Amino acid sequence: MTARPRTPAHILGAAAAAAVLTLALSACSSAGTGAAGSRGEPGVTATPSAQVTSTPAANAKIIKVKFTGSKVSPDGVPVQVTQGQPIVLQISSPKSGQLHVHSSPQEHINFPSGDSEITLDFKQPGVIDIEDHALNQLIVQLEVR
């Protein structure tokens, strides 16, 4: 089959087809949904320190996370841990919030205002970032060996 040369009508037709398709596609593209929060990953909640009864295990790695205003300390330090070693996050914050744990799969940790604590452990080697998404700040980078 030999194609006929392009005529203005053909070009118009192609443009019209493309325009219809484009409109159909972009019509519903504007809805910026995206609720704040977990977006589908599993989550855990830190326990208020007053309700914590057990003391951390002897081999536990204790990381103190302190929020003050728009800052958090530490703000991006590497921490080396071994597989299965308990990691105790002791969180102190004037308001409640959420940490993001970039493990596989990803997780988030909800924490209340005041002091709270949560124990994590990772069974798989890798580099795992723990971040605060509201501040957009890396807190610690765990190197699990």
Partner 1 sequence: MLHPTARVAELIGLHGLGGAKDLPVPAPFAIAGGTAALLVSFVILILAWRAPRYDAPPLAEAPSPTDHDEDADPLPGWAMDPRPGRSEDAASDGAWNSGGLRLPGLIANTLDSLWYRCVVRALGMAFTVFMVYVMYKGPDLIVNPTFGVFYVILWVGIVPASLLFGRFFYAISPVRTLFSLVSWVLRINPSKGVFDYPERLGYWPAALGLFAYVWQELVNPRGVYLGWDPPHPGVRGWLVAYFVIMFFGSAVFGDTWLARADPFEVYSSLLAKLSPWARRSDGDLVLRTPLANLATLVPRPGLVAVVAVLFGSTAFDSYKDTVRWNSVVTKLGINLEVTNTTALVLACLTIGVTFVIATKLTGVAETGPEAVPRRLLPQLLAHSMVPIIVGYMTAHYLSYFVEQGQATVVQLSDPMADGANLFGTANWSIDYWLSLHPTFLASSKVVAVVLGHIVGATAAHDRALRLLPKKHQITGQLALLVIMVVYTGTGLYLLFGS
Rounded Cα gap, residues 12 and 24, in angstroms: 18
Spatial strand order of the sheet with 47-48 comes to 47-48, 114-120, 87-93, 61-68, 71-73
Task: Out of 51, 54, 55, 136, name the contact with partner 1 by CB under 8 A.
Answer: 136
Residue 63 neighbours by CB distance under 10 Å: 19
Supply 87's token pair.
Answer: 């990691």
CB of 120 to partner 1, least distance (A): 13
Q: Residue 34 in 3-state DSSP?
A: coil
Cis peptide upstream of residue 42 (ω within 30 degrees of 0): no
Closer residue to partner 1 (CB): 21 or 57 = 21
CB of 55 to partner 1, least distance (A): 27
Task: Out of 59, 73, 82, 124, name the contact with partner 1 by CB under 8 A.
Answer: 124
> Under the criterion CB under 8 A, does residue 13 sit at the interface with partner 1?
yes
* Interface residues toward partner 1, by CB under 8 A: 1, 3-6, 10-11, 13-15, 17-18, 21-22, 25-26, 28-41, 75-78, 95-98, 100, 102-106, 110-112, 122, 124-129, 131, 133-134, 136-138, 141, 143-145
